Amino acid sequence: MASRSCLSIILAAGEGTRMKSALPKVLHKIAGLPMVAHVARSAEAAGAGDLALVIGHGADEMRKAAAKFAPRAESFVQDKRLGTAHAVLAARDAIARGYDDVLVMFGDTPLIEAGALTAAREKLAEGAAVVVLGFRTPNPTGYGRLIEADGKLAAIREEKDCSEQERRITFCNSGLMAIDGKHALKLLDAVGNANAKGEFYLTDIVAIAAAQGLDVFATEASFENALGINNRAELAEGEAIWQKRRRREAMLDGVTLVAPDTVFFAYDTEIGADAYIEPNVFFGPGVTVEGGAVIHAFSHIEGAEIGPGAEIGPFARLRPGADIAERAKIGNFCEVKKSTIEAGAKISHLSYIGDARVGADANIGAGTITCNYNGYTKSHTDIGRGAFIGSNSSLVAPVSIGDGGNVAAGSVITEDVPADALAFGRARQKTLPERGRMLRERLASAKKAAE
């Protein structure tokens, strides 16, 4: 397939009114990535070298989004919505460049797999002029039927036009097509609008191609590949299907998921073999987990790198920029943001580390916080190798603790601590005999008088 050039046209001009959202439908996300971006990634994986986005509603938002997930994509605006063939022809200038293959896809079918697209392209390479992607379902009500004869696709029949026998066909039209580039414009320009809605339907090219003696075939994929997302309920269904696929893939790659249905991945989550993931873990975008790491229950992780043998959680939060080295430990109710935690360092409980470096084998006591923000700017805290930070300490950035430095519990540290030094940053304790009892009596009397 590498020898054949390919253009992928993604139709993304629909308003998506059933989403009840100001955001264009295809920009709603599954696994942290807009639906249309999932489609673009599958097209790219199937060998589509160039991408054309046909946009309409929310065109500016679409262009901004496309600049991130498909920076080389061309955008074409469909000013009027006159049917699917009309939408494809909005990208006429791209089609006219003469690609070997033209894929027509929909921005709201995020579960399409590269394998299904590759199978359609292979049919084109074998001589087909048009290939329609179909699926089988025991309940075909509402779907157009694929009518085959002598191993070829003879027609796509909408349900309302089907005979009683044709309604029993379970092979249905997904809407996705692959078209031989040398025939594409001729077939599309031949589509008319002599129908009840006065629209130009892409499906008409099947009959047009057959009438011209061209070969038309249907390839089969799972129903999930063709699933279109039109509302929030279907968006959740699509998310569930995507997550199920990814969980299975992770487990087959050697990752242990104790309770798979409770673990949620992002589109780009990378997890190495022998990683161990406990229940109720959420991965946002940008996470890499090396082999042998353990992620305990109820942890929320995004934009983080976790080294081999590291231990995270339970109830830990890693925010963007967290870089956790091998054998490091981030314990329960700890938050790490934009910080490097070096090998063997331990942050075991109830701490916040932001904009910092924690040196190898350092120990951060419970309740420690790096005070990194003064209301206007953020500053760095540097904690050296083997340092010990006592519980309930506040490190006011910018500040550094040298290798082997020791900070006494309850300290507020505002000045650098040299290597191997011991620092106290707290008021001297003063004990007043009997004052506790006297204070209780005074407060009780005041309360009684107020009543």
Indicate if 196 and 271 belong to the same structural domain: no
Identify whether the C-beta of residue 411 lies closer than 8 Å to the C-beta of residue 395: no
Q: What is the CATH number for 329? A: 2.160.10.10
> By percentage, how much of the chain surpasses pLDDT 90?
83
354 and 388, same domain (yes or no): yes
Query: Mean pLDDT throughout 264-283?
Result: 98
User: What pLDDT score was predicted for residue 429?
Assistant: 83
Residue 448 located in a structural domain:
no
For residues 250 and 325, state if they share a domain.
yes
**253, 139: one domain:** no
pLDDT at 3 over 90: no
- Residue-level pLDDT at 150: 87
The pLDDT value recorded for residue 428 is: 85
Q: In terms of DSSP H, where are the helices of 70-163?
A: 84-89, 92-95, 114-125
Q: Is 35 within the bounds of a domain? A: yes
Domain assignment present for 257: yes
Q: Which of 226, 261, 284 lies at the terminal end of a domain, its last residue?
A: 226
pLDDT of 57 reads: 74
pLDDT on residue 56: 86
Whether 15 has a pLDDT exceeding 80, the answer reads no
Among 171, 198, 226, residue at a domain's last position: 226
Which of 237, 4, 39 has its CA nearest to residue 125? 4
- pLDDT tens digits for range 387-402: 999 999 999 999 999 9
In the 3-class helix/strand/coil scheme, how is 353-395 assigned residue by residue? EEEEEECCCCEECCCCEEECECCCCECCEEECCCCEECCCCEE
Q: Is the Cβ–Cβ distance between 224 and 9 less than 8 Å?
A: no
Cβ atoms 299, 314 nearer than 8 A: yes
Q: Which domain holds residue 180?
A: 6-226
Question: Is it the case that residue 1 has pLDDT exceeding 70?
Answer: no
CATH number at residue 146: 3.90.550.10
Q: What percent of the chain has pLDDT over 70?
A: 100
Determine the Cα–Cα distance for residues 171 and 169; give it in Å rounded to an integer: 6
The number of folded domains in the chain is 2
For residues 193 and 200, the answer to whether their CB atoms sit within 8 Å is yes
Identify any residues that bridge with 177 across adjacent strands, giving them in sequence order.
104, 132
Q: Write out pLDDT tens, residues 164-222.
A: 899 999 999 999 999 999 999 999 999 999 887 888 999 999 999 999 999 999 999 99
* Structural domain includes residue 233: no
| Residue-level pLDDT at 11 | 95
Closest CA to 38 of 207, 193, 242, 177: 242
Active-site residue 349, yes or no?
Answer: yes
Same domain as 193, residue 52? yes
Q: Is residue 248 domain-shared with residue 311, that is, in the same domain?
A: yes
> What is the per-residue pLDDT across 57-75, written as a single tens digit (0 to 9) for each?
778 888 888 888 889 899 9
pLDDT number for residue 147: 92
* 43 pLDDT higher than 90: yes
pLDDT tens-digit map of 333-349: 999 999 999 999 999 99
The band of 2, judged by pLDDT with boundaries at 50, 70 and 90, is low
Q: Do residues 250 and 150 share a domain? A: no
In this structure, of 9-18, 132-141, 387-396, the range with the lowest mean pLDDT score is: 9-18
Give a yes or no: residue 301 inside a domain: yes
Residue 101 domain-assigned? Answer: yes
Residues 220 and 256 in one domain: no
Of 226, 252, 279, the residue that ends a domain is: 226
**Do residues 13 and 157 both lie within one domain?**
yes
Residue at 130 is within a domain: yes
Domain membership flag for residue 387: yes
Burial 9-44 (b: 16+ CB within 10 A, else e): bbbbbbebeebeeeebbbbbbbbbbbbbbbbbbbbb
Q: How far is the C-alpha of 351 from the C-alpha of 383, rounded, in Å?
A: 14
Question: What average pLDDT score do residues 133-155 get?
Answer: 91
Average pLDDT across the chain, whole number: 94
Q: What is the pTM of this model?
A: 0.91
pLDDT confidence of residue 112: 97
Pair 320, 388 in one domain: yes
List the catalytic residue out of 28, 86, 300, 349: 349
Q: In whole angstroms, what is the distance from residue 424 CA to residue 438 CA? A: 31
| Residue-wise pLDDT tens digits, 277-308 | 999 999 999 999 999 999 999 999 999 999 99
Residue in 411, 405, 356, 412 with CA at minimum distance from that of residue 385: 405
Same domain, 188 and 322: no
The mean per-residue pLDDT over the stretch 432-439 comes to 91
Let me know whether 207 and 248 are in one domain. Answer: no
- pLDDT at residue 275, rounded to an integer: 98
